Amino acid sequence: MRSKVILINPRFTEEVTLFNLPIGILHLGSWLMKNGYEVKVIDALHSKNQSEFSMKLSQELDDAICVGLSVISTQIPSALMITGSVKAVNRNIPVIWGGAHPTLYPEQTAASELVDFVVAGEGEQPLLKILSALGSGTKIGKIVQSEDSIKMDELPWISPELVGDISPDMTLKKITEKTMYGFPILTGMGCPYHCTFCMNSVIDQKYKRRSATNILDNIQALAKNYAIERIWFVDENFFGDKRRAKEFVDGTLNRELKFKWFSGGRTTYFRDNYLGSEEFLNKVKESGCQVMGTGAESGSQRILDMVCKGTKVWDTINMAEKVSKSGMIANFSFMIGLPTETKAEYKMTLKLIDQIVKIDPRFYIFGPQIYRPYPGSVLYNECLKYGMKKPETLEEWADSPYIHFEFSKKSHFSKELYPWVLYDKDLTEIVFYATLMGKQPGNKIVTSILRAIGRWRCLNFNFRFPIEKKVYGLIRGSFIEILLRRWKFV
Ligand code: B12
Ligand code: SF4
């Protein structure tokens, strides 16, 4: 009999109405299956309530050899609760934590008595190492650091069988239709750039990617066997390899593959020698690309230079113009509240957002999110100088305001928590109203009113009496919100 591993995606702090698939554990699960293990994936986000989740878990626990949890910081409260429940049923069953939070804080995570193993970085090889140690009874350290990065073409694609586990009453096609951007496909990890705020440069993630042929073969199979028509390239920098991008686009056209796709890349790629070439961009569109996302980060050139982004403010405007002309949609994400950032620089970002949506009102704006420093980065050390104090244990993280959305019912922002922020007045309000300036999915009348309000407030830098934000906070995660925001890009 094959040994069974349970992989779990915990809940997020705020109820989310976005329908998504737990990409990390679906990849790991597919990898374990390839290596001869039986895998059960349980997504707490896809369970109707706590009791349904607990039932699923207890049904599977009996014959499992271990339980793995994928944890980003906002999932810590739920991850702790799940780990506690597993241990309450069988205190001898090993629990492994992996994902972004344990990767950023391996020692702190390992200090918890509830957690038996911590995987830092890519999980494939470390997980096999742990499973083999469990099988043979060999002792290994509590923290297992990823060392050998496996070539992407050698990794299996997400197994449709595992996706079926998540929502057994839906076909893969139906699940994909419900997702925000389409069926998730990871064609690469990391990125060749080193922006100092980004997790990739903090953990020194090696840039690796699948070949165009490998990607096209998978899409062809998904289309043929499961009628998948929308694909979301999860990569942080899908266009990072120019040659591969060209091979992929040509391959899609030559094979006459018909699917819509969503992806992202840097604003500098829209200069004339790459995506900025009208001929190539039209080809990209012809191959099915509908949405291009990017991290524009700031309207201040000084801030872009400070975080080593390697882009110009002009690149953002150029990208907006080029994408608009091509007829595709773009989304731009921003950051705010970085060390040394001034009120005048906030205004530059808000002005840039206004310029973007004037170029094309169909464009989406994400954030600006408040900057959150990751340990080990240059900016993190800068924040420490201002007196930043980070939670010291998993329990402290679970209680900490850092893990909450900027838009949640209660404002979690305070000068004490973000001592490096120079201009802290109205910060969460700025974040809220700036997002409203872009296109919002959902009811057209409601969103256009909110948009006009957002624009007026941001351009006048007037965030007094933020009634709209308060109301939004109250309905967030509710049924009304689901009705108002049917999240789908295209
Ligand atoms: C795609 C993505 C999303 C997607 C989908 C996430 C999903 N459902 O899986 C969406 C857009 C929904 C999203 C949302 C958010 N995200 Co996000 N997201 C990403 C992104 C770009 C890629 C993640 C990914 O799928 N990678 C591919 C898979 C294969 O990698 P992986 O998950 O890391 O898994 C590998 C290892 O970590 C490890 N591993 C993972 N789990 C486990 C479990 C075990 C047991 C083991 C052994 C190993 C292991 O093995 C895996 C394979 O090698 C990352 C950036 C990054 N560099 O990771 C951010 C990232 C994970 N997101 C982040 C954040 C903050 C968020 C949001 C909170 C943002 C926000 N404020 O709204 C939300 C929260 C989610 C929500 N409430 O809906 C942060 C997390 C930081 C942190 N401190 O934890 C990251 C790192 C981005 C960043 N640089 O800040 N996100
Ligand atoms: S270009 Fe994007 S993914 Fe690459 S290091 Fe910078 S922020 Fe991170």
Number of residues written out for the chain: 490
Give residue 16's pLDDT band: very low, low, confident or very high (50, 70, 90): low
Res. 153: pLDDT tops 90: yes
Angle of CA points 103, 109, 111, to nearest 5°: 145
Strand partners, 6: 40, 67
Cα 195 to averaged position of ligand 2 atoms, centre (Å): 6
Q: Which residues contact 480 (CB under 8 A, 6 or more apart)?
A: none
Pocket of ligand 1 (CB under 6 A): 12, 16, 18, 20, 22-25, 27-28, 68-70, 72-74, 96, 98-101, 103-104, 119, 122-124, 127, 186, 198-200, 234, 236, 369, 405
Percent pLDDT > 70 in the chain is: 93
Q: Which of 18, 74, 201 to mutate to test the pocket of ligand 1 (most atoms within 8 A of CB)?
A: 74
Look at residue 279 in the predicted model and tell me its pLDDT: 96
Q: How far is the CA of 447 from the centre of ligand 2 (A)?
A: 30
Of the residues 191, 202, 331, which should be mutated to test ligand 2's pocket, given the most ligand atoms within 8 Å of the CB?
191
| For the CA of 152, the nearest ligand | 1
For the cut 50, the answer to whether the pLDDT of residue 490 exceeds it is no
Coil vs helix vs strand at 263 = strand
Q: Which amino acid is at 157?
A: W
- Average predicted confidence (pLDDT) for the chain: 90
224-228, 284-288, 418-422: which has the highest mean pLDDT?
A: 284-288
Residue located nearest, by CA, to atom 8 of ligand 2: 198
pTM listed for this prediction? 0.92
User: Given its phi and psi angles, is residue 51 left (phi above 0), alpha (psi -120 to 50 degrees) or beta?
Assistant: alpha
**Positive or negative CA dihedral for 43, 44, 49, 50?**
positive
CATH class name, domain 170-398: alpha beta
Looking at residue 72, its pLDDT comes to 93
Phi, psi of 393, deg, nearest 5: -135, 170
Pick the range with the lowest mean pLDDT from 35-49, 60-74, 122-136, 348-362.
35-49
User: What is the band of 429 on the pLDDT scale with cuts at 50, 70, 90?
Assistant: confident
- Band (pLDDT 50/70/90 cuts) for residue 54 is confident
Please give the C-alpha separations between residue 346 and each of 116, 242, 424, 431, in angstroms, as whole numbers.
44, 33, 11, 10
Compute the distance from residue 72 Cα to the ligand 1 centre, in Å.
Answer: 6
Residue whose pair of structure tokens reads 């070439």 in the numeric block: 277
Closest CA to 286 of 234, 249, 238: 249
Nearest residue (by CA) to ligand 1, atom 44, is: 98
**Residue given tokens 């040994």 in the structure block:** 3
> Where is average pLDDT lowest: 141-145, 169-173, 206-210, 239-243?
169-173
Q: Fold for domain 4-152?
A: Rossmann fold (3.40.50)
Residues 372 and 163: their CA atoms lie apart, in Å, by 32
Domain with CATH 3.40.50.2300 in the chain: 4-152
Ligand nearest to the CA of 240: 2
pLDDT digits (tens, 9 = 90+) for 259-308: 999 999 999 999 999 999 999 999 999 999 999 999 999 999 999 999 99
Identify the weakest region by mean pLDDT among 55-69, 420-434, 475-489: 475-489
Q: Closest residue (by CA) to atom 6 of ligand 2? A: 195
C-alpha 22 to ligand 1 mean position (Å): 9
- The predicted pLDDT at position 489 comes to 46
Write out the two tokens for 250.
Answer: 């040509």
The pLDDT of residue 479 is above 70: no
Q: How confident is the model at residue 485 (pLDDT cuts 50, 70, 90)?
A: low
Q: Kindly give the distance from the C-alpha atom of residue 472 to the centroid of ligand 2, in angstroms, as a whole number.
A: 31
Cα 382 to averaged position of ligand 2 atoms, centre (Å): 20
pLDDT at 17: 53
The pLDDT of residue 123 is above 60: yes
Atom of ligand 2 nearest to the CA of 237: 3
* Domain(s) of CATH 3.20.20.70: residues in the chain: 170-398
Sign of CA dihedral 299, 305, 308, 310: positive
Q: What is the mean pLDDT of residues 118-133?
A: 96
From atom 2 of ligand 1, which residue's Cα is the shortest distance away?
234
Residues 461-486 have a mean pLDDT of 71
How would residue 178 be classed by pLDDT, with cut points 50, 70 and 90? Answer: confident
**How far is the centre of ligand 2, averaged over its atoms, from the C-alpha of 189 (Å)?**
11
Range from 119-133, 153-167, 207-221, 284-298 carrying the lowest mean pLDDT: 153-167
What is the Cα–Cα distance from 3 to 6, expressed in whole angstroms? 10
pLDDT tens readout for residues 102-116: 999 999 999 999 999
pLDDT of residue 411: 56
Read off the pLDDT of residues 372-415 as tens digits, 9 standing for 90 and up.
888 888 888 889 899 888 889 999 999 887 787 665 555 566 78
Region 341-367: mean pLDDT is 95
Alpha-carbon distance values, 15 to 9, 49, 144, 203, 221 (Å):
14, 11, 32, 29, 34
Q: Residue 11: pLDDT above 60? A: yes
Nearest-CA residue for atom 45 of ligand 1 = 68
| Ligand 2 midpoint to CA 194 (Å) | 6
